[in-house]
Amino acid sequence: MAATRFLSHITIFNSKNSNLYSITILAILCTIFYLIGIWQHSLGPIPNSSSSPVSGFLSSSPCYSLHTAQLDFMPHHLPHDPTPATARVPHFPPCNISFSEYTPCEDARRSLKFDRDMLIYRQRHCPEKNELLKCRIPAPYGYKVPFRWPESREFAWFANVPHKELTVEKKAQNWVKVEGEKFRFPGGGTMFPRGADAYIDDIDKLINLKDGSIRTAIDTGCGVASWGAYLLSRNIIAMSFAPRDTHEAQVQFALERGVPALIGVLASIRLPYPSRAFDMAHCSRCLIPWDNYDGIYLIEVDRILRPGGYWILSGPPINWENHWKGWNRTADDLKAEQSRIETVAKPLCWKKIVQKGDIAIWQKPTNHIHCKITRKVFKQPRFCQTQNPDMAWYTKLEKCLTPLPQVSEIKEIAGGQLPKWPQRLNAIPPRISSGSLTGVTGNNFVENTELWKERVAYYKNIDYQLAQTGRYRNLLDMNAYLGGFAAALVDDPVWVMNAVPVEADQLNTLGVIYERGLIGTYQNWYFPFLSLPSIKFNDSLVFLDRCEAMSTYPRTYDFIHADSIFSLYKDRCDMEDILLEMDRVLRPEGSVIIRDDVDVLLKIKKIIDVMQWEGRIADHEKGPHEREKILFAVKQYWTAPPLAPKHDQ
């Protein structure tokens, strides 16, 4: 037993000695190699030798190069990615104060380049693309928020429209007076010295203005639009127009008063309204030569007048027997002019129903059954054969009579009977019930009407100013479709200009809007070269693709609604150009609602942030999961700086 224990101890001792020897030898070898390594680095780089693999390895790149080497994982069979473009930060400084009343498409300097025949030079002539302003139109120093309706019908701030010319030129007619810091509009006119209300009463004695059968009217050569202003209290809404600067700022005064108006003129192209739009047309000494150019201007009035509609004329030559001396014309001259007007009206199949005092009224037939028979007697004007009667954007006037829709019997009203106002607003319009508006049914119309009631209610929940009665007066809907937005606001003290951009691949729905008893205009925010007419300037065509402005003054609207307008004009018109036009026609402290895809709204938000607008994006009325969102924005108050005082030199 003891021997066994002794042998075990010897074995353990030998094993320990063996491990110790191995560790000692390994340490000696590591020390030797370490010293050799230090010695080699102290000698510097070893010359390369192709015969020695060791020398080749040692002559490889130094250690620091291993840290800077780049591994290329890119597939070399693909083209290189383009360098990302640097994001442009938009900048829109204020324009010079000289542009405070700038109307791009009715610029007086540009108009002088065009033909004066038929007043072509006073038509729309918009700037070319390289002429578009990239600045914001300033309000004049001292600008104030306009009076609220109905007070605005009587008063406007002088600082907002600083022009006294009409107070002097039309002093005897009581158009407008200056009273301290305000203008006062007595409601007078050249042919209604007792006031517009009394003048309208005289018309009401001749045709019925009370029963709702007359709802839409047009006032040609409107002055400061007192006729339209006083019709509103009778539930008749008038579209008033006059050319730029025939009398200084007349349309601007109308808009400042809260009365619907546009800059416009009867010249060589159609008025921007559909056929059969108005129940009544009016001219009170409007200076339009109705008897000239083979009656082409009355032919245009006939196009836009509804079957059974009225044309009212007061002023020269009506009642020439009593006024010829005051008009500084001879009795024979005025008598001949009235005879020529009568001669023009007869081939249109109009019937003169009354002439009393200074007022004469004609009525358009309710259909063309008899009128077609009379073509055997009246060779001119012939019936138009090709043109769409509702096509009225840069469409040249023609000396042909617009045919009314076919009827089956003499008592039938062409185009369909319209209900009286206010039932007309929500009744299915004849253009829809007849199927003439492709793709729109009566059910679509009813659904659209209910949809916009819901949307406007949602707007008012978010925009408390829209919900505040009287806060806004002049509204613009940039893409009105069937007029649902305007219809939902009909009980508010507002009016809406319903713009229909029909050339932008849209349905021509403006006729439906007028059949509802609302008003509007054709307006294409972008217009391509190929769609423009052959209007010549110095014997050459000058039109190019461009964004286009409205025929209105700066600061026209208190509120602008834009439904999908930016998606509609994507890749056609620069977003910033449309926004700058919106800024031009929007009053300081006015509001904007823009509906569109969220990606579009995010781009818009970046632009308006540098335009002195305050805006926020809200969810769709159906909830946050809809891609369409709503941008609510307010234009901040700012004006041009005060003019520097003049010092004696």
Distance CA 302, CA 309 (A): 9
What's residue 305's pLDDT?
Answer: 98
Residue range 554-587, pLDDT digits in tens: 999 999 999 999 999 988 889 999 999 999 999 9
pLDDT at 386: 80
pLDDT digits (tens, 9 = 90+) for 8-67: 444 444 544 556 666 777 777 777 776 676 655 554 444 443 333 333 333 333 433 334
* Contact between 548 and 527 (Cβ < 8 Å): yes
- 10-35 b/e with 16+ CB inside 10 Å = b? eeeeeeeeeeeeeeeeeeeeeeeeee
Coil, strand or helix at 445: helix
- Phi first, then psi: give them for residue 466, nearest 5 degrees: -65, -35
Domains present along the chain, CATH in parentheses: 143-417 (3.40.50.150), 424-635 (3.40.50.150)
List phi, psi (to 5°) of 245: 65, 25
Contact 431, 274 (CB under 8 A): no
pLDDT at 400: 95
* Residue 171 in this model has a pLDDT that exceeds 70: no
Nearest alpha carbon to residue 483 among 443, 456, 445, 513: 513
- More confidently predicted of 165 and 195: 195
Report the percentage of the chain scoring pLDDT > 90. 70
Whether residue 82 is predicted with pLDDT greater than 60 in this model: the reply is no
Q: What is the pLDDT of residue 492?
A: 97
Can you give the pLDDT at residue 41? 53
Task: Give which of 604, 614, 607 is closest to 637, Cα–Cα.
Answer: 614
Residue 70: per-residue pLDDT: 53
DSSP 123-138: S--PPPGGG---SBPP
CA distance 265 to 394: 13
Tokens of 283: 């001219």
In sequence order, the β-bridge partners of residue 613 are 635
Structure tokens at 606: 């970046």
pTM for this structure? 0.84
